[in-house]
Amino acid sequence: MAVTGPHPVDVPTLPAHLDPDTDRVLDSGLPHELSYAFDGPFHFLLPHRFDANLTAFRTALDDAGVAGRVYYAKKANKAAVWAERCAAHGAGVDVASVPELREALGHGVRGEHIVVTGPAKSDALLRLAALQGCLVAVDALDELDLLVTLALTGTARPARLLLRRLPPGQPHSRFGMTAAELDTALDRCVRAGDAVRMEGFSFHLSGYAVRPRADLAGELVGHCLRARELGLRADRISIGGGFAVDYSGARHWQTFLAAQRPDHYHAHKTFDADGFYPYHSPVAGADALRAVLDTVPAGGRTRLADRLRETGTLLMAEPGRALLDGAGASVFRVQGVKERDGYRILTVDGTSLSLSEQWFNSEYLPDPYLVTPDGRVRGDAVHPACVGGATCLETDLLTWRKIPFPARPRVGDLLVYPNTAGYQMDSNESPFHDLPLPPKVVVDRLGDRPRWRLDRRPAR
């Protein structure tokens, strides 16, 4: 049946950057085989892309002549394969819970290569971190007191810690300590003696701007120098994550923002454009780290990289999304097509809980690929359709936008959302309606016959 009514040919598109690796998976026929085998949605993971992103971050540090360590922010994706890759390459992992810490250790990451972040850490988390020699980013004075007590009474090694700074430009942030609290914390570290090893400072900063990160990093270097005068080690700073991912080209992104309006969305849904993730970023990933290192912090005379070298200060970075750029996609099968006035409503075999941008009352905007049994469909035709999940909730839409598909989607076709490994595929997953969570498939080899395996998780 043909779509009736006005045909919104002006629905804006937002194509993802060309990705030959994802195309090779789609053209191999593997997605349809796995969709049939699992009888439901699934995610596929590309570990070699994680390796390449990790190498790029390390190269940025090396090129700047800066001593540094890269820690994968584990919250960005729960798959075990990323901890496996960190262990294989001697990289660090950033965790914020006992299960995350156990997962990292269980996949071979050494305790000394783990940094424990998050606010108001539990006794169990601090105790395990101290026993395993992890580095703890202390968020508050009472947390510091608890860590010192644990070190004095329960371990044979000093507790390793950073002191987290409240960002001056974000006074309402719930993370970190004020300047006065930092002074108190330093005094307590000195009085704790050999029970603690105070290794430096950290911060948690929202957004993706380069300048605020460089400015606050420069301030932390100054804090390290003052702490050293007190006899503390203080030889490193952590600038956290916040390295943007560039999903789409500048022209497509700017055109999309200028053109999008309520009638481009199912039920005239409206979104605050300022609330969209910046799906185009001119400086992204490891290049964003390069830009931070190349910036002269406020009040300084030399670049941050020079300041770090001059003071013998190690830089820690904790990217999550940026290490997962291009490292995975999410696959759903179309199981229903409903005609509406000028567009179609597709229902897939999963839910929006497996595309987590809806968690932020936003939309994951890169266009999904339409994949038939013959392969990915390309072309300039416009067949607009929104995408709903297989639940009884009106709000269960993976994509409210009427996506301009290049062909008419049909039952049995696949929709593949590209580049979803970072924060999308599992941050908000839930077995609603008793539906199983989509499995994760690790593709270890590309080509006409990809080699794949299910992601492994240690027994609990």
Rounded Cα distance between 441 and 326, Å, is 15
62/437 Cα distance (integer angstroms): 40
Other CB atoms within a 10 A radius of the CB of residue 272 amount to 8
Q: Using CA atoms, how far apart are residues 99 and 104, in angstroms rounded to an integer?
A: 9
Considering the entire predicted model, what is its pTM? 0.96
Task: Identify the CA nearest to 42 among candidates 455, 460, 458.
Answer: 455
Q: Which residues contact 380 (CB under 8 A, 6 or more apart)?
A: 406
Alpha carbon 9 to chain centroid distance? 34
Q: Among 101, 53, 80, 45, which Cα is nearest to 424's?
A: 45
How many helices (H) and strands (E) the chain has is answered by: 12, 18
Of 103, 102, 131, 129, give the one whose Cα is nearest residue 116: 129
Distance between CA atoms of residues 343 and 394, nearest Å: 17
> Exposed, middle or buried by CB within 10 Å (0-12, 13-18, 19+), for 258?
exposed
Single-letter amino acid code for the residue at 71: Y
- Chain centre distance of CA 49: 14
The amino acid sitting at 18 is L
Strands 414-417 and 369-372: antiparallel
Q: How far apart are CA 186 and CA 190, in angstroms?
A: 6
455 to each of 44, 100, 110, 397, how far by Cα in Å? 9, 16, 21, 27
Secondary structure (3-state) at 332: strand
**Tens digit of each residue's pLDDT, the chain (460 residues):** 344 444 455 888 999 999 999 999 999 999 999 999 999 999 999 999 999 999 999 999 999 999 999 999 999 999 999 999 999 999 999 999 999 999 999 999 999 999 999 999 999 999 999 999 999 999 999 999 999 999 888 766 899 999 999 998 888 889 999 999 999 999 999 999 999 999 999 999 999 999 999 999 999 999 999 999 999 999 999 999 999 999 999 999 999 999 999 999 999 999 999 999 999 999 999 999 999 999 999 999 999 999 999 999 999 999 999 999 999 999 999 999 999 999 999 999 999 999 989 777 899 999 999 999 999 999 989 999 999 999 999 999 999 999 999 999 999 999 999 999 999 999 988 888 888 899 999 999 998 899 999 998 654 4
Selection from 325, 345, 334 nearest residue 269 by Cα: 345
pLDDT digits (tens, 9 = 90+) for 332-371: 999 999 999 999 999 999 999 999 897 778 999 999 999 9
β-strand 68-73 against 92-95: which pairing, if any?
parallel
Q: For residue 240, which phi and psi values (nearest 5 degrees)?
A: 70, -150
* Residue 43 neighbours by CB distance under 10 Å: 25
User: Which residues in 145-175 are b (16+ Cβ under 10 Å) and which e?
Assistant: ebbbebbeeebeebbbbbbbbbbeebeeeeb
